[in-house]
Structure 1
Amino acid sequence: MASGGAPAKAAAISLLAAALLMLLVFLPGGVAAAGIVVPSIDALPRGLLRGPESVASDGKGRGPHSGVSDGRVLRRNGDKLGWTTHAYGPGYSADACTASAHRPETVTKSRCGRPLGLRFHLKSGNLYIADAYKGLMRVAPGGGEAKLLVNEVDGAPLRFTNGVDVDQVTGKVYFTDSSMNCQRSEHEMVTRTGDSTGRLMRYDLRTGKVVLLRSGSTYPNGLAISVERTHLVISSTGPCKLLRYWIKGSKAGTIEVLADLPGYPDNVRPDGRGGYWVALHGEKNELPFGFNSHLLALRIGGDGKILEEMRGPKSVRPTEVMERKGGRLFLGSVELPCVAVVTRK
Structure 2
Amino acid sequence: MEMKWRILVGLALVYAALDPFKYSPIAHFPEFQTHFVEDVPWSMLSSFMVDKKSRLQEADVETLKGVWGPESIAFDPQNRGPYTGIADGTIVRWDGPHLGWSLFAFTSPNRSEICNEKRKSALGYVKHEHICGRPLGLRFNKDSGDLYIADAYFGLLVVGPQGGLATPLVNSTYFANDLDIDKNGNVYFTDSSAIYRRKNFIQLVFSMENTGRVLKYDPHTKEVVVLVSNVSFPNGLCLSKDESFFVYTETVAGSIMRYWLKGPKSGTTDIFARLPGYPDNIRVNDKGEFWVAIHGRHNHLAYFLASHPKVRMFLLRLPISARIQYITYIGGKLQGMVAKYSPEGELLELLEDRMGKVVKGVSEVEEKDGKLWMGSVLTNFIALY
**Aligned pair partner of 1:223 in 237, 244, 252:** 237
Deviation for aligned residue 1:38:
3.8
**Aligned pair partner of 2:186 in 172, 186, 199:** 172
- Rounded to whole Å, the distance in 1 between the matches of 2:71 and 2:54 is 27
- For the residue of structure 2 that corresponds to 1:188, the secondary structure is helix
Contact preservation (8 Å) 2:216, 2:225: yes
Contact preservation (8 Å) 2:365, 2:373: yes
In the alignment, what sits opposite 1:70? 88
Contact preservation (8 Å) 2:55, 2:351: no
- Rounded to whole Å, the distance in 2 between the matches of 1:34 and 1:52 is 22
Question: How big is each residue's C-alpha offset from its partner over 1:38-71, in whole Å with a ceiling of 9 and x where there is no partner?
Answer: 42423444xxx51000011011110000001110
Alpha carbon RMSD of aligned pairs, Å?
2.3
In the alignment, what sits opposite 2:378? 335
Deviation for aligned residue 1:336:
0.4
Contact preservation (8 Å) 1:30, 1:308: no
In the alignment, what sits opposite 1:162? 177
Question: How big is each residue's C-alpha offset from its partner over 1:324-345, in whole Å with a ceiling of 9 and x where there is no partner?
Answer: 01x1111100000111122xxx
Deviation for aligned residue 1:106:
5.5
**Aligned pair partner of 1:306 in 336, 343, 347:** 347
Instruction: Mark the CA change 1:232 to 1:96 in structure 2 (over 3 Å): closer, same or farther.
Output: same
- Rounded to whole Å, the distance in 1 between the matches of 2:119 and 2:226 is 33
Query: Normalization by structure 2: what TM-score?
Result: 0.74
2:81 is equivalent to residue 81 of structure 1: no
- Rounded to whole Å, the distance in 2 between the matches of 1:252 and 1:66 is 33
In the alignment, what sits opposite 1:181? 195
Instruction: Mark the CA change 1:186 to 1:34 in structure 2 (over 3 Å): closer, same or farther.
Output: closer
Instruction: Mark the CA change 1:305 to 1:30 in structure 2 (over 3 Å): closer, same or farther.
Output: farther
What are the residue-to-residue correspondences of 1:244-323 with 2, within 5 Å?
Answer: 244-285=258-299, 287-288=331-332, 294=335, 296-312=337-353, 313-315=355-357, 316-323=360-367
Question: How big is each residue's C-alpha offset from its partner over 1:67-95, in whole Å with a ceiling of 9 and x where there is no partner?
Answer: 01110000001112110011001414252
- For the residue of structure 2 that corresponds to 1:130, the secondary structure is strand
Instruction: Mark the CA change 1:128 to 1:246 in structure 2 (over 3 Å): closer, same or farther.
Output: same
Contact preservation (8 Å) 1:134, 1:148: yes
- Rounded to whole Å, the distance in 2 between the matches of 1:30 and 1:108 is 38
Q: Read off the aligned partner of 2:63 and give its amino acid letter.
A: D
Unaligned stretches of 5+ residues in structure 1: 1-28, 153-157
Question: How big is each residue's C-alpha offset from its partner over 1:22-42, in whole Å with a ceiling of 9 and x where there is no partner?
Answer: xxxxxxx65887988442423
Deviation for aligned residue 1:294:
4.8
Decide which structure has greater helix share: 2
- Rounded to whole Å, the distance in 2 between the matches of 1:101 and 1:216 is 36
- For the residue of structure 1 that corresponds to 2:71, the secondary structure is coil
- Rounded to whole Å, the distance in 1 between the matches of 2:51 and 2:101 is 38
Higher relative contact order (CA 8 A, sep 6+): 2
- For the residue of structure 1 that corresponds to 2:243, the secondary structure is coil
Question: How big is each residue's C-alpha offset from its partner over 1:196-230, in whole Å with a ceiling of 9 and x where there is no partner?
Answer: 00001111111222111111111110010001101
Instruction: Mark the CA change 1:271 to 1:107 in structure 2 (over 3 Å): closer, same or farther.
Output: same
In the alignment, what sits opposite 1:214? 228
Deviates more, 1:222-231 or 1:312-321: 312-321
**Aligned pair partner of 1:134 in 154, 162, 167:** 154
Contact preservation (8 Å) 2:212, 2:232: yes
Q: Read off the aligned partner of 1:127 and give its amino acid letter.
A: L
Question: How big is each residue's C-alpha offset from its partner over 1:92-129, in whole Å with a ceiling of 9 and x where there is no partner?
Answer: 42522111656755632232110101011111101011
In the alignment, what sits opposite 2:117? 99
Q: Read off the aligned partner of 1:310 and give its amino acid letter.
A: L
Question: How big is each residue's C-alpha offset from its partner over 1:227-247, in whole Å with a ceiling of 9 and x where there is no partner?
Answer: 110111111100101100112
Q: Read off the aligned partner of 1:324 and give its amino acid letter.
A: K
Decide which structure has greater strand share: 1
Instruction: Mark the CA change 1:297 to 1:31 in structure 2 (over 3 Å): closer, same or farther.
Output: closer
In the alignment, what sits opposite 2:30? none
Q: Read off the aligned partner of 1:335 and give its amino acid letter.
A: L
Deviation for aligned residue 1:314:
1.9
- For the residue of structure 1 that corresponds to 2:252, the secondary structure is coil
Question: How big is each residue's C-alpha offset from its partner over 1:256-304, in whole Å with a ceiling of 9 and x where there is no partner?
Answer: 1011111110000012212100001111125437xxx955110011111
